[in-house]
Chain A
Amino acid sequence: QQQVKQSPQSLIVQKGGISIINCAYENTAFDYFPWYQQFPGKGPALLIAIRPDVSEKKEGRFTISFNKSAKQFSLHIMDSQPGDSATYFCAASRSNTGNQFYFGTGTSLTVIP
């Protein structure tokens, strides 16, 4: 059973546009929701993360929106750039434990110049 569902599988955006990736989870015990960015041949790297006590977190052009009641969260990339072309994974976990992170299946983002 997929603990975290991610969509879309792939996304093509024009340079300067907004990229939006969505995730949904079931386990209400999750309290830490990171997003990872992965370039070809590299390991995933932590991009931004949010806790359920806030509805939005922004870091530069990257914003996480969190809807606790709907059990959904999304990544918005503003002013998308060709260098943002990568695979993005959402994840969820219970913090303060060593328990596993549950990952979405990934979204391949291509930003066209």
Chain B
Amino acid sequence: DAGITQSPRHKVTETGTPVTLRCHQTENHRYMYWYRQDPGHGLRLIHYSYGVKDTDKGEVSDGYSVSRSKTEDFLLTLESATSSQTSVYFCAIKGAGAGGYTFGSGTRLTVV
């Protein structure tokens, strides 16, 4: 998807374990976002970044942390996974100025 890659694509993990999802972009875009997608809820923002080491919380940030040490990488960490964090996670990027997001292909995470 247009210079944005998410890894892994699928993951099954046990309750209580830490999990890190990676988003990598080759577009040199300033803004990066992590969303989760759940039936009936659409896409909800977890965290976003507006530059290296500059991040902020979204509406569903509890239980998640992020890091951005390089322009191209935005990591999402579930410190101690819970079953309620079973979801499909999407990373998105956006350039400066007007325009829409470009989404990655998503990571399907199952917490058992």
Contacts and interface: CB of A to CB of B under 8 A. Distances in A.
B44 to A, nearest CB: 8
Given A89-B42, A103-B43, A44 B33 contact: no
Contact of A43 (B45, B94, B105): B105
Given A96-B97, A96-B98, A98-B50, A43 B104 contact: yes
A105 B99 CA distance: 21
Contacts of A101: 45, 100-101
B25 to A, nearest CB: 13
- Chain A contact residues, majority secondary structure: loop
Nearest to B108: A41
Given A43-B104, A44-B43, A104-B42, A95 B48 contact: no
A41 B88 CA distance: 10
A106 B40 CA distance: 8
Nearest to A90: B42
Given A32-B98, A105-B42, A100 B58 contact: yes
A81 B58 CA distance: 36
Interface in B20-76: 30-31, 33, 35, 40-45, 48, 50, 58
A42 interface: yes
Contacts of B96: 98
Interface in A24-67: 32, 34, 36, 41-46, 49
Interface of B: 1, 30-31, 33, 35, 40-45, 48, 50, 58, 90, 94, 96-106
8 contacts: A32-B98, A43-B104, A96-B97, A98-B96, A100-B45, A101-B45, A103-B43, A103-B44
Interface of A: 6, 32, 34, 36, 41-46, 49, 89, 91, 95-96, 98, 100-101, 103-106
